[in-house]
Amino acid sequence: MDDDEIRELFHKLDKDHNGSIDREEFILGLRELHLPTDPTIVQRFFEEADDNHDQQVSQEEFLHFMKHRRASLRQLFDQLDVNKDGVISEEEIGILLKSAGFKADKKHVMALLHTADHGRKNSLDFHEFSRFLSLLPSTGVQDLLSVWTRAVAIDIGEDFTLPPDHVNKDMHSIMLYLLAGGVAGMVSRTATSPLDRLKIIMQTAVDREPILKAFLRIYETEGVRGYWRGNLANVIKIFPESGIRFVSYETYKRYLFPEHDPIKLSAFEKLLAGGLAGATSQISIYPMEVIRARLAVSSPGTYSGIRDVFATTLRREGPAAFYKGLVPSLIGIFPYAAIDFAIYDALKKWYVERKKSQVKEKTDQGLSVWVLLSCGAVSSSIGQLASYPMDLVRRRLQIQGMKAHTGDGLALKALGPMGILRETIQKEGPLGLYRGMVPNLMKVVPSMAISYADRMSCFGTLSSSFRRVSLTTPEVSQIHKQRRIYFTERVCIPDVVAANIHPSSSITMTGHHHHHDHHHHHHDHHHHGHHENPLAVLEGHVRIRSAHGEYLSAREDGCVKQVSNRENWERWTPEHAGHGLYYLRSDHGKFLSARQDKTVSQVHQAEDWEKWYITPLEHGKFSLRSAHGHHLRAGDHHEHHHVNQADGHSVGAWEQWTIERA
């Protein structure tokens, strides 16, 4: 791209023509150009292009960034152009995919080629290559392939993306993602258990009872612990359910659409595979659903726990009792998912269009977290209206066969699904099918908010050898999109979502490392995977030694230097700052601070510029990256005692540090 083309692209991205591009405009521009809008891509663009860190990219900054990108893309292009004929051919892309461990059949190759080349030729010249990838801040072949393949997966007009369909899947990343989501789901379900139990009791009781009276009756008869009766069975099933759902989704995609390009499945095809995966996981864990329902509606003393429910039900009713209500449960999956998905996307698109027409209300983060959570809450609630009658039917089927003297006035009459529907409508009218709907709706927002917040917290805690990507709102959108594809239970809790994560992919909320450190950290992560956590050294006082063998020193005048001796001023205390970040506090009580002019100092107050990503490298080394995106650098031999922040985002010798216990 020449300078005129770069300026033309800038004006295309600058929607309000105010001379700068903010995050919302950049995301909209990526969508119009058929490019992925992953939060890491947006974050990296602004870290690299926004020189003055004002959350706006001016035309001058954009021109400078694009010229730098042009030079980087030329190096990439030359790497891919194996025979040096000036074009990247179909054969060369196939070789590249195979060498990187990606699928390399003809369909994959042509899909990638045609996404970048709108002329539908079988090769790419540098102009076409750079025009397509110039906005994507990838710096290496593996990184480029991750972004490129995700760009193919985006279907304009269907504003959702499933995880990328790469062959290689890092099981460590998948397990981390499922574990974080599982813990978040456990906290969310536990927090909303009182409302959930109230809903089940109202669904299955013969006589109507006011919500408040029913809620207080639980406390009067069972105490506070009664609100969590059956919750253990509810949380136990989270992990097997999510694992089965993940494996089933991948299997259904391969089985149902063997002739289709897996990275270009339509929304309907992915929805179908996801729905069947949800049904498969539901069948697998359904006995726990029955046990949970029976614990929730039983009187105190009826059962001693999960094992007692299982043994009693098996003895009295046989194995088939554990699948009562399964059919209406499966029937309810698809209408809920389709309506929820469609309304969520419609609300989000409406809001985006509204924001585009109201320049004065622009934000620097695109859609806010609360906007996306609100869209999810509204769409989930409407989706439940369609599927709730089936939920009521399955609950009443699940408790059939329990002894009549449980004391709860349960509807124990043996009826089939249609019989329950007819009897409910005859006795209570159509609104009877929605008994218990109010407490169910009451838990939608807290369930989503708690699960979302806890998931973010879990990633910061569990991913000590992973890098936390700065959160942007497209990431929240991805949570909602995946929640709809993988169909958690019809209570709209974004519990565990199956992740199809490639080691280089930045589509997920965490990765092995931050996006600027792909090539330096990739192999080292696996090296540490089976050993002691390298970040364990950060517990307590530490000394930080440069490649010169000198120690990071906090001077009394507020400066930071390197010194050869080890005294009190060379001792630092790492403190967790959340989301995988750390503060580094000196013995003066001041915090290591990365200033905007790339100097390093100490300050009394710990804010954003005092937060550091500390990443394990090879051979026991670490990199320290500031909130500006620059790495802590030890001065070379000409500036021996100087410490600052490095230009660019690579990790060289002077950006590697040894951290040892003090």
For residues 210-237, give the mean pLDDT: 90
**In the predicted structure, residue 176 carries a pLDDT above the cut 70:** no
Q: Where are the alpha helices (DSSP H) in 16-81?
A: 23-32, 39-49, 59-80
State yes or no: pLDDT of 163 exceeds 70.
Answer: no
The listed CATH number (3.30.1330.10, 1.50.40.10, 3.30.390.50, 3.40.190.10) that belongs to domain 171-357+369-459: 1.50.40.10
Task: Give the tokens for residue 446.
Answer: 């807290």
- What is the Cα–Cα distance from 225 to 438, expressed in whole angstroms? 22
Burial of 382 (C-beta count, 10 Å sphere; 0-12/13-18/19+): middle
> Can you state the percent helix, strand and coil of the chain, rounding each to 5?
55, 10, 30
Amino acid making up residue 215: F
Which regions of the chain carry the CATH code 1.50.40.10?
171-357+369-459
- What architecture is domain 3-152? Orthogonal Bundle (1.10)
Residues 583/575, Cβ–Cβ less than 8 Å: yes
Helix H segments across 192-318? 193-204, 211-222, 231-236, 238-256, 267-297, 306-317
Q: What is the pLDDT of residue 322?
A: 94
Rounded to two decimals, what is the model's pTM? 0.49
- The residue among 489, 452, 495, 443 whose CA lies nearest residue 191 is 443
Average pLDDT over residues 97-121: 55
Q: What is the predicted pLDDT for the residue at 434?
A: 92
CA 616, 618, 624, 628 dihedral sign is negative
Cα–Cα distance measured from residue 477 to residue 509, given in angstroms and rounded to the nearest whole number: 11
Radius of gyration of the chain (CA): 28
Spatial distance between the Cα atoms of 205 and 367, rounded to a whole number of angstroms: 42
Q: How are beta strands 57-58 and 20-21 bridged, if at all?
A: antiparallel
d(CA 64, CA 68): 6
Tokens found for residue 500: 């199809």
How many CA atoms within 13 Å lie on the side-chain side of 30?
28
Average pLDDT over residues 516-528: 38
> pLDDT-derived band of residue 306, with 50, 70 and 90 as boundaries?
very high
Q: With a cut of 50, say whether residue 406 has pLDDT above it.
A: no
Question: CA 367, 177, 481: angle at the middle one, nearest 5?
Answer: 35
Cβ pair 217, 225 in contact under 8 A = no
Q: How far apart are CA 434 and CA 124, in angstroms?
A: 58
Residue with the larger pLDDT of the pair 379 and 525:
379
| 3-state secondary structure string across 351-380 | HHHHHHCCHHHCCCCCCCHHHHHHHHHHHH
pLDDT interval class at 75 (50, 70, 90): confident
Calpha distance 335→347 (Å, rounded):
18
What is the C-alpha separation between 120 and 140, in angstroms, rounded? 25
DSSP state of 631: B
Question: What is the average pLDDT value for the chain, to the nearest integer?
Answer: 72
Look at residue 653 in the predicted model and tell me its pLDDT: 79
Q: Where in the chain is the domain with CATH 1.10.238.10?
A: 3-152
Note the pLDDT of residue 310: 93
Residue range 582-600: average pLDDT? 84
Using H for helix, E for strand and C for coil, what is the string for 118-162? Answer: CCCCCEEEHHHHHHHHCCCCCCCHHHHHHHHHHHHHCECCECCCC
pLDDT band for position 507 (50/70/90)? very low
- Pairing verdict, β 643-645 and 632-634: antiparallel
Which regions of the chain carry the CATH code 2.80.10.50?
Answer: 538-661
The listed range with the strongest mean pLDDT (116-125, 359-368, 501-510) is 116-125
For residue 561, what are the β-bridge partners?
553, 642
For the ranges 5-9, 202-206, 215-219, 604-608, the lowest mean pLDDT is seen at 604-608
Cβ burial of 452 (10 Å; 0-12, 13-18, 19+) is buried
Q: What is the pLDDT of residue 227?
A: 92
CA distance 391 to 389: 5
> What CATH architecture applies to the domain 538-661?
Trefoil (2.80)
Q: What are the tens digits of pLDDT across the range 274-294?
A: 788 888 888 999 999 999 999
Distance CA 226, CA 193 (A): 10
- Calculated CA dihedral for residues 200, 204, 208, 209, nearest 10 degrees: -40
